[in-house]
Homo-oligomer: A and B are copies of this chain.
Amino acid sequence: MGLTRRVREILDGYEGESAGTKANLARVLMAGRLGGTGKLVILPVDQGFEHGPARSFAANPAAYDPHYHYSLAIEAGCSAYAAPLGWLQAGADTFRGKIPTILKLNSANSLARQKEAPDQAVTGSVADALRIGCAAIGFTVYPSSDAQYAQMEEIAELSREAKAKGLAVVIWSYPRGGDLSKEGETAVDIVAYAAHMAALQGASIVKVKLPSAHLENKDAKKIYEEKKIPIATMAERVRHIVQCCFNGKRVVVFSGGAAKDASSVFEDARAIKEGGGNGSIIGRNSFQRPRADALKLLDELMRIYQP
């Protein structure tokens, strides 16, 4: 299957990357119902690790089974499916070749004392990702955490290895810890900074949270106001984030956070599309609904992203 013009255009921005990395990024961009449009909907399932099994799956007990998520993502036509090693591998034979997968290499859990140096445990490796046939590795960095430099050094090494072996790299860039306020974690200046740093660190796909209009950093606030950077609407904020990802040369997807009603999910997606973002990464809002509802929601979501 040939690549679409839009996908070729996107890939052209990835100068200096190995052919393998570009091929795997292309696999993700050409997969599922949005394949070829330059838009993406990714299913991530690391909530079992992050919040525990009952808080993640009791709302829809079929989701206790790792096969459920593969099959949901495939039926819905998602672009990729991301999960930690044990969970992803538990369907690696059954669903081989049916959807690009992303091995989430590090994970946190809510038993840990977060505080000023939130961190994650690295539980998978590039060799694992290759062994179970993934298209990419995924890694969370917490910019502003007192552990951020150590995390950046981890992903720098993992990324180097992954790309040398032809994998793409997805960075979850989630400001947290240090002196950052709770509100600051989604402040538009901070999210823009986090997205920019993910791109600087070599992310093939940048993943950030949808930003609020709050401005956290005093020095940054002055610039945003002085230069009148438009950040009033969500679409404007998304456009700003896209600009901060190498002027739109990096794929950037947004997560919606905790479960909410479908209309909010759609509203977010419309803003992402309008702002030029590449799509959504949607976990709890899909698998915590009954399967039929989830499929309906994902169907509607993808319709929004269709050109």
Copy number of this protein in the oligomer? 5
- A1 at interface by CB-CB < 8 Å: no
Known: A66-B249, A94-B15, A224-B58. A48 touches B196 (CB 8 A): yes
Cα of A144 to Cα of B109 in the assembled complex, Å: 8
- A233 at interface by CB-CB < 8 Å: no
Chain B's nearest CB lies how many Å from the CB of A102?
15
The one of B85, B127, B146, B190 in contact with A200, judged by C-beta atoms closer than 8 angstroms, is B85
Cα of A65 to Cα of B49 in the assembled complex, Å: 37
> Is there contact, CB below 8 Å, between B65 and A246?
yes
Q: In residues 173-203 of chain A, which contact B (Cβ within 8 Å)? A: 175, 178-180, 189-190, 192-193, 196-197, 199-203
- A-B contacts, 28 listed (Cβ < 8 Å): A13-B90, A16-B92, A49-B200, A51-B219, A52-B189, A53-B192, A53-B196, A53-B243, A54-B244, A55-B223, A58-B227, A58-B229, A64-B243, A66-B246, A66-B247, A85-B156, A87-B199, A90-B249, A111-B180, A111-B190, A111-B193, A112-B144, A112-B178, A113-B116, A113-B146, A121-B153, A122-B152, A124-B156
Given contacts A51-B219, A109-B197, A122-B152, 16 further A-B contacts (CB under 8 A): A15-B90, A52-B217, A53-B243, A58-B227, A59-B223, A85-B200, A90-B249, A109-B148, A111-B144, A111-B178, A112-B144, A112-B148, A113-B116, A113-B146, A123-B156, A128-B160
